Structure 1
């Protein structure tokens, strides 16, 4: 019986991915004709929520995303994007080679993803161009580890994109993400997307699970003090996330509170680094 359920979920998942392609086609054509990307936040958010539903992802959120802030999160899986996308309207910045990924690259492009070449300078140049959007009230999210982890640790944060908030005018809000069982407090070993993981194989593993629990903590925002160094800002955000994850791991039977309101805030999400997990950002 469980096998039949997994097959049914897999079939529905493929239909959902296909529906994304069908919806993307007219939007892509219209965007080309108009000469600019089309913003479809409601459609993108629906797509994220439906994907999470089909994968039986149960999201528990504490705190609220700060509008017009630099959101800084630890990175565990490509699932981070639809999980965050159910609560924050997000555009993404990914490696240029992601554009060539079958289906995923097409969906990402239609959703307004900006594709960049490898290298810190280019990433910073593109991110700086997004600063105007932040000043208009949108929110920028970065995954400054530059790769994914198994969730047991948070790697060093690359500081370069913290330059966007270095002058103190943009608040920085750390975001802690953990794929953890709410009862046992154990991390889910199948949720991380690591190394040479294959997207299709990862999806296959996920549909065989009864549920995938994830906890998202939008932590207290802070502003850069005068003459702050980017490295200091990166370290502060890193420490905040690490402390939150450590506290949550030790709080058996005390998962973060109920989901927040489904009212999303506009966002521009940037993934830093050269790992492919920052790329599977279909929206």
Structure 2
């Protein structure tokens, strides 16, 4: 009964805040009344509160620009977790653009959509993302290309770093900074998660979003750590494959360190 009440109140809060902040974001994009990242940042903070997620940040978003943030990917909640901490824009799969409501909200947050399987469009999309980075937007790339189970990472796809190359090849900058970021879900109700419990936070494959959301709302009280690493300079002489491996290794090290010794819940 208590879980049902919690879910009902959380959905009401989510619906109300989403409606108000989405309308204010539409107004912002049309008039420039506020900075474009203000309403999305507020919405992400409301979402983590509704979900009962406690976010612990270690380090900070790099100040260097152009900036590409390369992170591991566990769940759709990674977006609200990162968005609640820093002003960033996300790179997402093209099919998400057509999702009911989610696609519209993503567009309001100025998400960049990419068709990873189509080579003809990938170059144009990488160029567009590169132009946004050149203008100062910090773009977040979930470099595994899909979600994992929260215990281990999948290999980073070097092709997804094409936007960094575009910034340089189009003369928008001599170097791009790529910052490794690790997201680790570490505690449930204050108790450290073991290997068997970490997939509780994960949203894998074709899993339906609604049941996963309901499950998170019912359980609540989850801790997540976000570790910001030192940015790596990517230049015309840099190898995408070697850079992808380096960033992958640094993200994996931060993630495993957080899982092995989670910070106290507070």
- Shorter-chain TM-score tier: 0.7 to 0.9
In 2, the alpha carbon distance for the partners of 1:123 and 1:16 equals 34
Quote the residue 1:177 is aligned against: 183
In 1, the alpha carbon distance for the partners of 2:40 and 2:28 equals 16
Quote the residue 1:199 is aligned against: 209
- The Cα RMSD (Å) is 2.9
Match of 1:63 among 44, 59, 76: 59
Quote the residue 1:4 is aligned against: 2
Shift of 1:109: 2.0
Shift of 1:245: 1.9
SS of structure 2 residue aligned to 1:231: helix
In 2, the alpha carbon distance for the partners of 1:249 and 1:199 equals 25
Confirm or deny that 1:209 pairs with 2:210: no
**Cα distance change of structure 1 residues 113 and 162 upon mapping to structure 2, 3 Å threshold:** closer
Confirm or deny that 1:89 pairs with 2:99: no
Shift of 1:226: 6.5
**1:1-283, aligned counterparts within 5 Å?**
3-21=1-19, 23-24=21-22, 28=26, 40-67=36-63, 68=65, 69-121=67-119, 122-166=121-165, 169-181=175-187, 184=192, 186=194, 188-224=198-234, 227-251=237-261, 254-255=262-263
Residue deviations 1:165-208 (CA, integer Å, cap 9, x gap): 35561111100111112653535331100122111100111012
In 2, the alpha carbon distance for the partners of 1:200 and 1:59 equals 22
Shift of 1:12: 2.9
In 2, the alpha carbon distance for the partners of 1:124 and 1:180 equals 37
In 2, the alpha carbon distance for the partners of 1:130 and 1:104 equals 20
Give the TM-score, by structure 1 length. Answer: 0.77
Segments of 5+ residues of structure 2 without an aligned counterpart are: 169-173
Indicate the structure with greater helix content. Answer: 2
Contact 1:151 1:178 (C-alpha < 8 Å) held by counterparts: yes
Structure of higher RCO (CA pairs closer than 8 Å, 6+ residues apart): 1
Give the TM-score, by structure 2 length. Answer: 0.82
SS of structure 1 residue aligned to 2:192: coil
Shift of 1:8: 3.0
Shift of 1:256: 8.3
In 2, the alpha carbon distance for the partners of 1:200 and 1:41 equals 26
Quote the residue 1:268 is aligned against: none
Residue deviations 1:142-165 (CA, integer Å, cap 9, x gap): 111110000111111111232443
Residue deviations 1:200-248 (CA, integer Å, cap 9, x gap): 1001110121411111100111213662211000000011111122222
